[in-house]
Structures are given as structure tokens and as C-alpha cells.
Structure 1
Amino acid sequence: MLDAIGADDIEDLFDIPDAVRFDGAFGIEGASEQAVTQRLQRTLGRNSDSTEFLGRGHYSHYIPSVVDHLSLRSEFITSYTQYQPEVSQGFLQVLFEFQSLVTELTGMDVANCSMYDAATALGEAATLADRVREASGSVILVPDYLRAERRAVLDNYTDGSDLSVREFPTEDGMVHPETLRQSLDEDVLLVYLENPTPEGIIEEHLIEVGSIVDEVESLLCIGSDLVALSLLQNPGTVGADIVVGNAGILGLPAAYGMGIGIFACRDDFLRQIPGRLVGASRDSAGDRTYTLTLQTREQHIRRERATSNICSNQAWVALRTAIHAMYLGPDGLTALADRCTRLPAQVASELDQIEGVSAPATQAYHFREFKAEVEKDASEVVSELASEGFVVHELNEQTIQICVTETNEHRIDDFVEAVREVME
């Protein structure tokens, strides 16, 4: 091979400056694969093993082995968009099924095949509302519980345009219809809220909220996630025009990144939806086929006329999410969501019996997570729990937030006992 490419030595293939090139002996003895694996396992065994009860937008759900097995097939391993439908039918069908899953759970007419994450999906919802606006409003109205990172992305999307972001107050951690009504005026273009909220509270007034927003002819955008949507009120039935959120809770570990957002909307906005759409059609032989359709993205038309300038997509992540959801099926997905309501209620009830703990801090129905007020300094509680092998989130000086799913269910009794000891 060296002769074929005209090289005299393997070193000719590398151009590493002498100043930074290591030219000594590595001092590492050769070892078999088994010996290397055992050494790595011993090293990993020195790490502390903690059980996390964190949440706050990133949730741990058990990932069936079938997700890795199928998604790691060589046919699916690509970071590129499926521009050639004639050689991408399998992947395009998976993305079509992902879109179908999202539309069914959100109650919307159409969904794209992924966004980067929930934050960018919210930003794109604001720009879509700007493009389809029927009124003169330019204000994006958001609740005061909106996470800082999502607010930062939304501010970035609206900066430099005539859009502005304004907060409205919530009561007891949720949106109350009359409070929202007082915050609405002719300047409001889009109202955004989340169900469940960042504190795990299930919104109880969505139907009234939908009616109030419709009265002033503003658009309503609801943020959620695929597991919650399988059990909670369908956004489409309460008057939502756009639904955004997080899908990566299915098929992805909570490991520092790699998320996926969902974006769905009414059919009226079909030609303004950001991201990519996979459509079903027929080929010359009459067989069902799949292809990218309505490609109003920046690669295909002039930048200033594109609906979105997000270039890449999360296709492979959408594949993993679709596999996980289809493996669970409708009944399995609903059963998972049901556990996400029962387990927090169980843990909150047990913690509330501990002197110095009030849980949940807000009297409402919760999904996955809840707040607990503690009489001790919250930072001390968090630190002492960490030393016992449990990780929770500190909200403020007297409040912690706790997330419970099926992945930490087996440690509930130990966790409650640890809190009891810390509070003594």
C-alpha cells in the first residue's frame, strides 16, 4: 500500500511537529483484551456510586437493550441528513414514524422530525408566530417559572427583531386564568407555558387558559415531553397552536448532552414549520415511499426566505427515541407515565412525615418531581445526602427538589431513611 501511494515509510503519513511529538518509550506492557478490561473495571470501581434524584429537565428512564442493538446497526450510523431517498428508505420511514408519534401524543396536525432540544424548539415557536401573525402584537409572554437556559435561548432568538419577551406571574407554581388574563393585551403575540412545569407541577387550568388566549387572538404554545404527553391533557384538545418540548427522555441517557426537541403545530402553519419534514408518497411502481418534503430550509432557498437556519438535525437521536417509544407501545408508555405520578406522591408522603420536612411544598399533582421545604440549610442537606450516596437539587436556602422515576425506585426506602438521619 505504501508503494501504491508513493510513501517510503508509515511515518510519511503523519506530520506532527517535533516540538510536540512524543518520541520516547511508552512504558506500557502489552496486555490481552481481557487484562485491559479487568484493569479498567478496577479503575472504575474506585468511583463513588451515587443514586440521583435530580430531574430539572433531564430525566433518567430505563433504556431497553433493543434501543442500542437496533440504533447501532451500520445502516443507521450517520450524522448526515437523508438527502437521497432512494438509498435512505429505512431511515426515512423511522423519521416518519417519529413524526407520527409526536403528532399523536400532542394532538397537533403536523410535526417535524426533530429539533436540537426543547429550548431551540421554543425559540423557533416564537419566530414561527412572528411569521404567521394576524395581529399587531410582538410580545412573547412566558411564565415566571421558565428555566433560565430556555429563557436565554428565547432571548437570543428574539434579540435584534421586533419581538420581545415578557414574564407573567404564576400562583402556587402554576398558571391561574385570571392572573394570565390581567397580563394579556393587544401586544401579546404568543403565550407559552409548560405542563408539567419545571417544578413537576401538573397545570390544572389548561382549558380555561386556552379559551382566554383564544379570546385575544394570540397563539398558545405548550411545552411538555413525550412521556408526560401519554398521560396528561392533550395540548390539541385545550387549544394549543404549537407544542414544543423534550423527547430525549426516551432512548437517551442523561449524560451531559445529546438531546432532542419536538416541534408540532396546526396544519395552518405547515409551510412555516422549522426543521425537516418527512412525507409519504408513491414511486413509479406504485409502492409506498418516503422522502424529505416542503424543504423550506436554508440549504434549499435563499437564507432570508428560509423558515429556519438550523442546519443539521437530530435524526439518529430521533431514531433511538422512536425505537424506545415503539418498544413500550401505547400501554407501556402510559404505564411509565403513571409511575411518574405515583412514585413522587409516595416519596413526598413519606418525607412529609419527617420532622423538619414539608413535602410537597406546593399542594398540587406532580409528575416525576416535587419541591420539599427543609428547616435546615438546604445546602447542608444536599451535601450530607451526597455523602450518603444520594444526589438532589438545591433550589434555595430552604428548598430542595426531588425527582423520582423507575430508575431510582429501588432506593426509595434508603433515600427516605437518609433524609430522616440528615434532619435529626
Structure 2
Amino acid sequence: MHGSHTTGSPYAPHTAEDRTAMLEAVDAETVEDLFDIPAAVRFDGQFDIDARTERETRRLVRSVLGRNDDCTELLGRGHYGYYIPSLVDHLADRSEFLTSYTQYQPEISQGFLQALFEYQSLLVELTGLEIANCSIYDAATALGEAATLADRVRDTSGHRVLVPELMREERKSTLANYVAGTDLVVEAYPVDDGTVDLAGLDTAVDEDVVMVYAENPTVRGTIEEQLEAIGDLAADVDAFFALGSDPIALSLLERPADVGADVVVGDASVLGLPTSYGMGLGLFATKEDYLRQVPGRLVGVSEDATDRRAFTLTLQTREQHIRRERATSNICTNQAWVALRTAIHAAVLGPSGMVDLAKRAVTRAEALAERVDDIVGVQAPVHDRRHFREFVAHVDQPASAVAADLERLGFAVHVVGDHEIQLCVAGVPDEELDRFVEALEEVAR
């Protein structure tokens, strides 16, 4: 450091006198007094980790990872292991992308900004809505932001957010956390045979509803065929209609804008990201009317001083960037690098490739359901609906026992009921599905 700043860290340039003055101001004697850390979890300066060479460490890590079960996953329910073209890794792992932080300096970030602009454009085309941000944490976060957006923009005194009773618990939990500091309350409406019970939703909707949320496809893989009617019910009481989906499904299913959706949320990492069990890429698209209410960041296109096309961060509504009373979200770090991967994967596939991938999600799920239904002791699919990517099957034996036996044979499935398992075909090669059918025949008797 220069001058009188002699602290050991250039990132916290306080002198001893500065620290003493600050501690006196809060009536504390030491910095440690500011933290109440129980002795049982307080770091004592020793990690108790034996020193190892690089070779020894690699051998140890390889040994630990080798204890993982090597299962073929038919899990789904938000985690889809589609094949990722090698070009995605080759481009996304370039240092100018991989080591980049937020693109605050457009003069040195044109490539990354253009890629994010293309990602936004992709979502706009798929959803039919005019505005998409350049990513958000995950689908659950996007849903929470949709609810608070609805609360801000709807001309209603309502405070109820309606969600389907069949919904991933982690998304419901995140939504509840999001609205905990507001007057909003989350309530569930009924489903019928895997899709929305329209009569039940009609009963639940009244002037006190601020947002209705539906999913297509649903958490159980069913395709929702009543989206326009759901949107009409929401519009009748001036409530927001939020629709959950993903880029692959949107390549084939009805465009949200055509069924009255006000906002689309979901996980875009079905493209570009392998199964990550936690990390995702939240998509968020809405109408231009709500441009200045959109959470996260928007990349826009303009012209520089020499009339050349230029990309820049156009709008940022988080508290760090604008006055707190005008901020609409506390979303900070977004998923820009993951959005880059999604954009690359979509570009590699192209429009026809996206549609083909989506069609295969329907036909392969239906084909597996037919084969599974032929097995003694199994009925599939449980729901008399069209399915996308996954479906629920009934097993006469206890589902937990069937799943455990399948795991022993090298297959992982979800248990979703006492006698129900859920099967997903996304990313599973045909020969592995053949092996799975043989294994299920063995354990379902």
C-alpha cells in the first residue's frame, strides 16, 4: 500500500486508527466481537488435512469418486441429461468467456454481449413475448421473481398466488421464501389426471388472485392442453398468467404468447449444461409493457460513435445499480456463462434440430411407455395424457423396493408414490432403454 495505509491487504485499506475508530463507534473492542461464532464450529487455525503430493491427491480423489454408483439415470423431474455437442465445450471454455466477469465494460466485451443478446433473442422467438433477460439463477428463482413482478404491476388488491398441487417442492419452497416479506400467500389448486383441473381452478380464482401459475410440460411429464382456458381465467380477474416451460419443450408446444401468458419462467439449461443436480439457468421472458420491471439484466444493441453496431448492458434493476426505492429485484450474479452455453447449443442444433429433439422427446417417451405397459405388474402411463420426455408408471410391487432393485441392476428412477415410479428418456441411449426394460421385467414380478 501507499502512504499511511499499511494494512496487510490492498482490498481492505484501513489503518489501525481507522479500525479503532470504527470499533469505538459500535462499542466493540475487537473485530471478533462483531461475530458470534459458537466455539464448536469456530476455525482454530488447523484443517487437520494431511499434506499430499499432487499425484497422491489425484489418486485419492479418483478412489473416492470411484465409489459412486455408475447408474443409467431415468430421473428427469427437472434434471435432463441431453447430449452436449463437443463444440459447446470448445467455444465456451475459451478464456475470454470462461474468465469473464459481468460485462460492465462493453468496449472489451462485445463478443460475450452479442452471445447473450442472441440468447435473449432465442427466448423471445420461442415464447412469442417481447422481452427476455440475459439469465437468472434457476427456474425456482424465476418463479419467485414472476410473483413479485405480478404484485408490482397488476391493478388489483389481490394477494393470492395460485400454483398446481403437483409441483416440485423445491420450487414451491423458493416461491414461499420469495413472498415471505410481502403480503402475498401461495395456495395450491387441484389437478386432474396429471393436468390442471379447470373446474377446480375456476373455483379457486377470484378478485383476490394476483397470479396463476401453470406448467407445460408438468412435473409428471404430461402436456397441458388447456393453457388458453387457464389464461382466460387469469385474465378475467386481471391476474398474471405465468407459464413454466423450457427451450426444448417450447420448440414444439404452444407458444406462451398465443395462449395469453404474461410471463414465462423455467430452466434453460436443458440445452448446453449436463445434469448438474442444483445448478441451473433460469429463463425469464415477459411482455414489453413490463420492461422496466424485469429482474436481472438486459443486453441491448445500439451504435457506437462510429455508427457501428454495439452491444451493451441496457437495463439493470437490482439494488446495487439504482436507487433502492426504484429497484425491483436483489438478483445479483446471473448465469451468463451458462446462458452462453445454451445459446451455443441452440445454434448448433438450429431450428430444425430443436424441433427434432422435441419431437423425439414425445415419441421416445410414448414408445417406452408402451413397452413398459406390456410388463406384468406394471401399468404405464398412469395419466391418460400426451407426455413429453417422461411419464409416471404404476407398479404392483412397492415402488421403493422396485427402485432399489433397479438401482442394484444399474438404473436410477424416481419414486413418486407408494406404487409409482417416474421414468425419463432424455439423454438415455436406445440400447440403455432396452436394458432397462429387461431389468424392469425382472424386478416387477
Residue in 2 that maps onto 1:283: 304
Decide which of 318, 321, 340 is 1:319's aligned counterpart: 340
- Superposed displacement of residue 47, structure 1: 5.2
- Superposed displacement of residue 38, structure 1: 9.9
Higher mean alpha-carbon deviation, 160-169 vs 88-97, is at 160-169
Where does 1:185-224 land on structure 2 (aligned, <5 Å)?
185-224=206-245
- Superposed displacement of residue 305, structure 1: 2.0
CA contact (8 A) 1:382 1:391 kept: yes
Give deviations 1:52-81, integer Å, cap 9, x for gaps.
100111111000000000000011013621
Residue in 2 that maps onto 1:10: none
In the superposition, relative to structure 1, how do residues 241 and 37 fare at CA in structure 2: closer, same or farther (>3 Å)? same
Residue in 1 that maps onto 2:200: 179
CA contact (8 A) 2:264 2:284 kept: yes
Where does 1:406-417 land on structure 2 (aligned, <5 Å)?
406-417=427-438
CA contact (8 A) 2:72 2:428 kept: no
Identity of counterpart residues, as a percentage?
Answer: 56
Residue in 1 that maps onto 2:443: 422
Residue in 1 that maps onto 2:368: 347
In the superposition, relative to structure 1, how do residues 47 and 297 fare at CA in structure 2: closer, same or farther (>3 Å)? closer
Aligned AA (1:72): D
- Confirm or deny that 1:332 pairs with 2:353: yes
CA contact (8 A) 1:99 1:112 kept: yes
CA distance in 2, matches of 1:155, 1:41: 40
CA contact (8 A) 2:295 2:316 kept: no
Structure 1 vs Structure 2 CA RMSD: 2.2
Decide which of 358, 382, 395 is 1:374's aligned counterpart: 395
Decide which of 160, 167, 170 is 1:139's aligned counterpart: 160
CA contact (8 A) 2:241 2:260 kept: yes
- Superposed displacement of residue 405, structure 1: 1.9
- Superposed displacement of residue 18, structure 1: 8.7
- Superposed displacement of residue 39, structure 1: 10
Residue in 2 that maps onto 1:111: 132
CA contact (8 A) 2:146 2:242 kept: yes
CA distance in 1, matches of 2:276, 2:359: 25
Decide which of 233, 248, 253 is 1:232's aligned counterpart: 253
SS at match of 1:258: coil
SS at match of 1:244: strand
- Confirm or deny that 1:257 pairs with 2:301: no
CA contact (8 A) 1:177 1:212 kept: no
- Superposed displacement of residue 303, structure 1: 2.2
- Superposed displacement of residue 406, structure 1: 3.7
CA distance in 2, matches of 1:254, 1:331: 24
CA distance in 1, matches of 2:142, 2:253: 20
- Superposed displacement of residue 207, structure 1: 1.5
SS at match of 2:101: coil
CA distance in 1, matches of 2:321, 2:68: 49
Residue in 2 that maps onto 1:55: 76
- Superposed displacement of residue 181, structure 1: 1.2
Give deviations 1:220-259, integer Å, cap 9, x for gaps.
0000011000001111100000000000111111123321
SS at match of 1:155: helix
Given the two structures, how large is their TM-score scaled by the length of structure 2? 0.86
- Confirm or deny that 1:359 pairs with 2:390: no
SS at match of 1:410: helix
In the superposition, relative to structure 1, how do residues 343 and 73 fare at CA in structure 2: closer, same or farther (>3 Å)? same
Aligned AA (1:133): R
CA distance in 2, matches of 1:29, 1:139: 56
CA distance in 1, matches of 2:188, 2:340: 36
CA distance in 1, matches of 2:189, 2:155: 22
- Superposed displacement of residue 208, structure 1: 1.6
Decide which of 93, 97, 104 is 1:83's aligned counterpart: 104
- Superposed displacement of residue 177, structure 1: 2.6
Aligned AA (1:390): F
In the superposition, relative to structure 1, how do residues 415 and 217 fare at CA in structure 2: closer, same or farther (>3 Å)? same
Structure 1 runs of 4+ aligned residues shifted over 3 Å read 17-24, 28-31, 36-48
- Confirm or deny that 1:391 pairs with 2:412: yes
CA distance in 1, matches of 2:178, 2:262: 19
Decide which of 93, 101, 105 is 2:114's aligned counterpart: 93
Aligned AA (2:130): D
Given the two structures, how large is their TM-score scaled by the length of structure 1? 0.90
Higher mean alpha-carbon deviation, 384-393 vs 303-312, is at 303-312
Give deviations 1:141-195, integer Å, cap 9, x for gaps.
1110121101111111111211111111111111133222111100001100100
In the superposition, relative to structure 1, how do residues 131 and 420 fare at CA in structure 2: closer, same or farther (>3 Å)? same
